[in-house]
Amino acid sequence: MEDSKLEFLRGTLDVLILKALAWGPQHGYGIASLIRRHSDEALLLEEGTLYPALWRLESKKLVAAEWGLSENNRKAKFYRLTPDGRRHLRDGAKTWEAYARAVSKVLSTAKPQEETA
Amino acid sequence: MNKIPIWRRYDRLLGSDRAADVKAELRFHIDSKTDDLIARGWPPQQARAEAERQFGNIRPVQRIGEHIGGHMDLRSRISDYWSECMHDTRYTVRTLLANPTFSIVAILVLALGIGANIVVFSVVNTILLRPLPFPDSQQLVRIVEKDAKSNESGKTYTADATQDFQQQNRSFQSVSGYFAFSSPNNFKLAGSGQPQPATGMLVAEGFFETLGVEPFAGRLFRHEEFLQHAQTAALLSYPYWKRQFGGDPNIVGRTVDLTDKGDLNNKSVTVVGVLPQTFDFGAVFSPGTKVDLFVPYIMDDFRSDGNDLALFGRLRPGVSIGKAQNEADLLFPQFYFEHKHPEYGKGYTAQLTGLKEYISGKLRRSLIVLWCAVGLIQLIVCVNLSNLLLARAAARGKEFAMRSALGARRGRIVRQLLTESLLLAVLGASLGLGLAWAVLAWLAHQGSLALPLLHMIGLDGAALAWTLVFAVGTAVLFGLVPALRTSSPNLQEALKDGGHGASEGRRHDRLRSTLVITEISLACVLLVGAGLMLRSFLRVLDVDLGFEPSRAAAVSVDYDDGGNPARQAAIWEEVVSRASQIPGVEAAGISDNLPMSRNRGWGIAAKGQAPPKNEDYLPVFVYIVSPGYFKAMGMRLIAGRDVTWDDLVNNRSVVVINETVARRLWPGQNPIGRIAYAGGGQPEVIGVIADVRESSAEDSGAAQMYLPATKQFGPEGSYLVVRSKLPPSSLATSVMRTLRDINPGQPASQFSPVQSLVDHATSPRRFFVLLVGIFACLGLLLAALGIYGVIAYSVTRQTQEIGIRMALGATPARVQFDVIWKTLRLALAGIAAGFIASFAVARLIASLLFQTAPNDPLTFAAMVAVLALVSLLAGYLPARKASKVNPMDTLRAH
């Protein structure tokens, strides 16, 4: 389990959080569970790091927060996407996909081509 | 604007606590995790430990949370504040639109006040505060003989003395000067069509370099161009280049047919450069005159011409004026008038004054008075608006009481009211700025106004900053009193009070009365000040100038006498005799100088046993005149006779002196037939003429003498003066035709009324009187508005009371009288306070007055009467309304 823990690239966590909120308002714990579940348990983030990222998004007005009751009847802080956040998610996802494609293209190259003089 | 989300109000209720929020959020996470783990079969104890382990270190996360939270709190508080402001503003706009009369009056009053303030500030800033438009202008120093007074010759130095000082001083980087006796239109530009007159200024070497003026095009003068017989070079002023040469970019290097009328060689000049637009000689050295071009002052040509250079210099860095003054006090007494003739004597003095101080020093007091006057206006404006707002606030008392009953804090209501006054102030300031801009643009083009640096006037950063500070200050000043008053926590009273004579209403009334009394007394001070200035101005206009400018006109005459005095006399005789024959002309004569324009001073002494020493000479203004000049100018011959053509033809040495000279040289004796030393000869005194105001209407007469041209000295230029019953303009064509008949090269000079010389000399005073007068009228208007507002308001409030009184038998006349009496009481209280203040203020402006005592009873009485009358008028309108109250209507209405 420790081995498969992937290092999070800078900014990736933001996109993942935004994506997790795309389906509806969610509290911090729910966001962490969602990310874990959807990555087939491959992306195990240290849960503590989620919150600073979340608050920063809140302060940038990409997500908005509101206190409410959780499914187990506890007082929980729910986050939801703002229109700005939705836009940011779209852009972030596009960038990330392009980046991932480029990286995997390089990695899958069999042999570097010789440059002709 | 974002709406405040529901939870923000909720979190306000508990008081915002970010730290607790963060803790709660994180606890929820751990708790949920623990629940999950238990559900998956972990024992409760271990489940909690595992949850915490998976979370990682909780402290730093908490700290980050608190930090970010703090930021967000601050931001949301700012945005809440902003949204409240926007809310207030929108509300204010709505209430202002609902009451357009009030809004328009308030904004107009503010615009006038602020506009006037910006204009005066800009004038003061340009003339007094801002440094001169030259680099390191604080180093520039004007050098003038001590006790020179208004005699230009006494302010100037000879070429030799100038060069001595240039060589021997250690305090100055450079010393230069200009020829102080250039007359307007002393050049003529030949070319296509009629020759055009142009005004040229002779400047000494280093003139522009000392000032730090860089040419706009071409170059400045070179050293060779200041040597005798050099090809004449010229620098054009920017406006002249634009006007006369259409801004021709190839002008530099071109030779133009510009001839100096006094120069016999009649050579053309080469344009070597164009000066920058920012350089205006007149604005700095000789307010109200325009100079078209500059030519070198060649020292060797002027060595024997006496004092004619006006000097200034640039101090070395680190040298104070005091130090330079000490050096000048040592050096100047050593300087000879002329090296070639040491027997003419030596001994100059020099008073060093900062150039800026020299230019604007005389205006300082007037400008400060003006500044105070607009300050008073602004005070009146503030008081007036305070009053208007107070009246409104009183009417809205219930609204505010309701709002505070619903939980609005006092600060919130004060803020709302301040927003209102701030919005009014901003609107007023914008309008005022527009007004000021227009007035300043107009002022900047008043070239004939003899105020220095006027062309540089305009709105600049300082003026804008001043406006801003002023508008905000005003808003707070006039908004605060009503705001604090209205928001005073007297809820019950306000809600109960229908506004009919309850105590709250009375309190308002007292405050408003105090404000109106203040306003009236301020207006009184302004009126008395303006009245005194106006009376001074009328006295100036009324002064016996010694000549009658009204029906005389002058034109610069051009001729070529080839340097031959006999020919010059013949030409003068022809010009005068032909001009006299023009129909409508009563008298004609020529002089080389006109009063209140440029002047020139020599000395005159009475012939006694021993030849006179230097100190025996009386400094005297000199005029070279033709017969008929006195009559044409309307001067009064007291004794003896005028100069005759016979004197000129026979080259007889004669002089006409004025009363001052007669009194000083031959006290108690008949001066006619006496011999004087003057102009290098010993002329016989043939006449005594009444003193003429030489430099301005306000200086009493100085010593003057009038000589016919002789072999020793010729005229410097010549002005034909004609007197006629007809308006000068109707004579212009025939006079110009005659002059062109005599000399086809006569340039198209301006035929200008002599009155314009007087107007020019009195223009600064007229300018100040006009402004102070306008301000006083504004103050009066505002005071009247204030009285009207208070009385009209109190009548409206007391309609019911009046109705009852009338029902009980009071006659309309009685009601009317009561209202007017109330007005009069306010007015009298204000006038009494203003009267006392005026005495103090009048003493402060005493030095600006002319032949008017600062406690001039007529002025005081007149101004008090005007103020009382206007107050009565302002009170009469509401009084009439009160007397028309129908008792039945008012009683039924309640």
- Sorting pLDDT into bands at 50, 70 and 90, what band is B503? very low
Contact A46 B29 (CB under 8 A): no
Q: Whole-angstrom Cα distance, residue B885 to residue B869?
A: 25
Task: Confirm if B735 and B719 have CB atoms less than 8 A apart.
Answer: no
pLDDT at B540: 85
Is the pLDDT at A28 greater than 60? The verdict is yes
- B862-872 b/e with 16+ CB inside 10 Å = b? bbbebbbebbb
Question: For strand B309-315 and strand B293-296, is the pairing parallel, antiparallel, or unpaired?
Answer: unpaired
Which residue of chain B is at minimal alpha-carbon distance from A77?
Answer: B25
Of A29, A48, A58, which is closest to B28 when you measure between CB atoms? A29
CA–CA gap between residue A17 and residue A88 (Å, rounded):
11
Q: Please state whether beta strands B601-606 and B618-624 pair in parallel, antiparallel, or not at all (unpaired).
A: antiparallel
Spatial separation of the C-alpha atoms in residues B695 and B621, rounded to whole Å: 10
**Which is more confidently placed, B166 or B759?**
B166
How is residue B317 written in tokens?
Answer: 């860095």
CB B479 within 8 A of CB B92: no
A104 to chain B, closest Cα gap in Å: 31
Task: Check CB contact under 8 Å for B72 and A75.
Answer: no
Best of A1, A31, A77, A78 to disrupt the B interface by mutation (most B CBs within 10 Å)? A77
Q: Which residues, 6 or more positions from B729, have their beta carbon under 8 angstroms from its beta carbon?
A: B751
What integer pLDDT is reported at residue B750 of this predicted model? Answer: 77
What is the percent of chain B with per-residue pLDDT over 90, rounded to a whole number?
13
CB contact under 8 A, A51 and B64: yes
Q: Do A67 and B29 touch (CB under 8 A)?
A: no
Selected for mutation to probe chain A from B9, B21, B27, B29 (highest A CB count within 10 Å) is B29
Structure tokens at B336: 């000879």
Asked whether the beta carbons of B234 and B258 are under 8 A apart, the reply is yes
Sheet holding B187-189, edge to edge: B196-198, B187-189, B258-260
SS3 content of chain B, % helix, strand, coil (to 5): 55, 15, 30
DSSP secondary structure letter of residue B251: -
> In three state form, how does the secondary structure of B484-509 look?
HHHCCCCHHHHHHCCCCCCHHHHHHH
CA B75, distance to chain mean position in Å, is 47
Mutation target to probe the B interface, by most B beta carbons within 10 A, among A50, A51, A74 is A51
- Looking at residue B10, its pLDDT comes to 55
Average pLDDT over residues B680-688: 88
Looking from the CA of B226 toward its CB, the CA atoms found within 13 Å total 16
One of 1.10.10.10, 3.40.1210.10, 3.40.50.2300, 3.40.718.10 is the CATH number of A12-106, namely 1.10.10.10
Model confidence pLDDT, tens digit, residues B536-582: 888 888 888 888 888 889 888 888 777 777 788 888 888 999 989 98
In angstroms, rounded to a whole number, what is the distance separating the alpha carbons of residues B727 and B584? 10
Whether B631 and B625 have beta carbons less than 8 Å apart is answered as no
Q: What is the mean pLDDT of residues B67-91?
A: 85
For residue B136, count other CB atoms closer than 10 A to its CB.
Answer: 13
**What is residue B154's predicted lDDT score, i.e. its pLDDT?**
66
Q: Residue B502: pLDDT band by 50, 70, 90 thresholds?
A: very low
Type of residue numbered B374: V
Contacts of B28 in chain A (CB under 8 A): 27-29, 70, 74-77
Phi, psi at B157, each rounded to 5°:
-130, 160
> What does the pLDDT average to over B199-207?
91
> Is there a contact between B10 and A48 if contact means CB atoms under 8 Å apart?
no
Does the distance separating the beta carbons of A77 and B32 come in below 8 Å? no
Q: What pLDDT sits at residue B1?
A: 38
Q: Which of B57, B61, B75 has the highest number of chain A CBs within 10 A, making it the mutation to test binding with A?
A: B61
Rg (C-alpha) for chain B, rounded Å, is 39
Can you tell me the mean pLDDT for A48-74?
86
Q: What 8-state DSSP symbol labels residue B128?
A: I
pLDDT range class, residue A2, cuts 50, 70, 90: very low
Please answer yes or no on whether A64 and B61 come within 8 Å at the CB atom. no
Distance CA B85, CA B11 (A): 22
Q: Which residues in B have their CB inside 8 Å of a CB on A?
A: 5-7, 10-11, 21, 24-26, 28-29, 31-33, 35-36, 54-58, 60-61, 64-65, 68-69, 71-72, 75
Using the 8-state DSSP alphabet, how is residue B675 labeled? Answer: B
Lowest mean pLDDT across B70-79, B344-353, B561-570? B561-570
Write the residue in B32, B68, B75 that is nearest to A72 by C-beta: B32
Q: Which two tokens stand for residue B14?
A: 């508990």
pLDDT at residue A44 in the model = 64
Position B276 confidence tier, pLDDT thresholds 50, 70, 90: very high
ipTM for the assembly: 0.84
Give the residue from B4, B23, B25 with the most A CB atoms within 10 Å of its CB, the best one to mutate.
B25
Distances (CA, A) of A81 to A95, A96, B541: 19, 19, 81
Buried b (16+ CB within 10 A) or exposed e, A95-117: ebeeeeeeeeeeeeeeeeeeeee
Contacts of A58 in chain B (CB under 8 A): 68, 72
What's the CA gap between B816 and B202, in Å, rounded? 73
Q: What is the pLDDT of residues B290-322, one digit of tens each?
A: 889 999 998 888 887 778 888 999 999 989 999
Domain ranges (residues) in chain A: 12-106
Please tell me which of the candidates B10, B60, B72 has its beta carbon nearest to residue A59.
Answer: B72
**Distant-in-sequence, close-in-space partners of B60: CB < 8 Å, separation ≥ 6:** A48
Of A46, A47, A55, Cβ closest to residue B68: A55
In which band, very low, low, confident or very high, does the pLDDT at B829 lie, cut at 50, 70 and 90? very high
Q: Hey, what long-range contacts does B576-584 have (CB within 8 A, 24 or more apart)?
A: B576/B626, B576/B627, B576/B628, B576/B720, B578/B738, B578/B741, B578/B742, B579/B720, B579/B722, B579/B735, B579/B738, B580/B628, B582/B722, B582/B731, B582/B734, B582/B735, B582/B738, B583/B734, B584/B724, B584/B725, B584/B726, B584/B730, B584/B731, B584/B734
Q: What percent of chain B has pLDDT over 70?
A: 91
Instruction: Summarize pLDDT for B742-786 with one digit per residue, the tens.
Output: 888 787 777 888 888 888 888 888 888 888 888 888 888 888 888
> Which one-letter DSSP state was computed for residue B397?
H
Tokens of B711: 């072999």
| pLDDT higher than threshold 50 for residue B790 | yes
Binary contact (A28, B25; C-beta < 8 A):
yes
- Model confidence at B4, pLDDT cuts 50, 70, 90, reads very low
Q: Is the pLDDT of residue A70 over 60?
A: yes
Q: Closest CB to A51: pick one of B10, B65, B72.
A: B65
Residue that is written with structure tokens 């980050």 in the block: B64
Contact A66 B64 (CB under 8 A): no
pLDDT, mean of residues B371-383? 85
The mean pLDDT value of chain B amounts to 83
Q: Is the pLDDT of residue B815 over 50?
A: yes
Residues B410-443 have pLDDT tens digits of 777 788 888 888 888 888 889 988 988 888 888 8
CB contact under 8 A, B32 and A47: no
Contacts of B36 in chain A (CB under 8 A): 33
CA atoms within 13 A on the CB side of B891: 9
Helix (H, G, I), strand (E, B) or coil at A26: strand
pLDDT of residue B424: 86
**Residue with structure tokens 């209403």?**
B505
What is the rounded CA–CA span in Å between residue B508 and residue B342? 83
Contact by Cβ (8 Å): B428, B411? no
Q: In which element (H, E) is residue A81 found? A: strand A75-81
Say how far apart CA B3 and CA B86 lie, in whole Å: 12
Go through chain A and tell me how many residues it has: 117
Instruction: Identify the pLDDT of residue B648.
Output: 80
Judged against a pLDDT cut of 90, whether residue B140 lies above it is answered with yes
pLDDT (tens digit, 9 = 90+) per residue, B445-462? 776 676 777 777 777 788
